[in-house]
Amino acid sequence: MTLDGWIDAYLDHLRVERALARNTLDAYARDLRALVEHVGEIEPRDIDPGVIAELLVGNVRRGFGARSSARQLSALRGFFRFLVRERAIPTDPTKLVDRPRLAKKLPKILSFDEIERLLATPDRTKPRGIRDAAMIHLMYASGLRVSELVSLKLGDLDTKTGLVSALGKGGKRRLVPVGEAALDHIGAYVRDVRPKVARANEATLFISPRGGPLTRQGFWKLLKTYARVAGITTPLSPHKLRHSFATHLLRNGADLRAVQAMLGHADLGTTEIYTRVAQDHIRAAHTRSHPRA
């Protein structure tokens, strides 16, 4: 089988066996097709570590950053491990290639005051404002990804136990607690707004005025609008709300592993980055307040 054929087989494997999201599959496809463009249609067994290194060096000439190259190398490693398992090649040529060094970027977050202003912005005298308040409160209360938020079903929220069941990456479900404030806003939306606009048999929790599911782009757009009204001058994305959720929990003494479980991180190291943001806050408070700081 040609290199292109093996890439198609690997992408099918990721789609069926690992249930990766469409956007993730598209990113894998782009990174792997770049390998085909670099080497042409050759047999996978003819690709050695030098070929992979040349591709990554070429990335630098094309203006790729270290993060983009690291992501591509990660995609290539997964692909060649798959080929080894399928016995298409004897060894993985990426094993001897060093991963580009990444500068650790701390996530940007909102302050407590900015969060309060944002939560208070939707006009809850109007149906759309009631829905938007419920969505923003839930996102900050639970740290959901935007894709998880807009795909929630009515049955995913248990108001009695105060838990939401989120379908995360790789089709994995997790239970996340939701506070009373968010539950109150969601209750008002489900009781007073949703029944008036929902299409028949529509199971999605948050819906557009047309009666169908709200899109990720739709939520992103309304969030940016509310940020502007709230006087938040830094760019705001749904993921920044997730960052803020995690950092604010840790600043208030939450256990790191509990935060990991709520975020749905497979690796604790992914969650640990938030401890650095929380520590920066403590350090800044010390600098501002201590007489000998």
> Residue 72 and residue 100: Cα distance in Å, rounded?
10
Of 128, 169, 216, 251, which one is the catalytic site residue?
169
Q: Is 286 a catalytic residue?
A: no
Of 137, 145, 240, 243, which one is the catalytic site residue?
145
Q: Is 99 a catalytic residue?
A: no
Of 137, 185, 194, 265, which one is the catalytic site residue?
265
Q: Is 274 a catalytic residue?
A: yes
CB atoms within 10 A of CB 64: 17
Of 126, 228, 239, 257, which one is the catalytic site residue?
239
Of 10, 140, 189, 274, which one is the catalytic site residue?
274
Of 137, 242, 243, 248, which one is the catalytic site residue?
242
Q: Is 13 a catalytic residue?
A: no
Q: Is 239 a catalytic residue?
A: yes
> Residue 109 and residue 213: Cα distance in Å, rounded?
28
> Residue 97 and residue 178: Cα distance in Å, rounded?
44
Q: Is 265 a catalytic residue?
A: yes
> Residue 34 and residue 37: Cα distance in Å, rounded?
5
Catalytic residue numbers? 145, 169, 239, 242, 265, 274
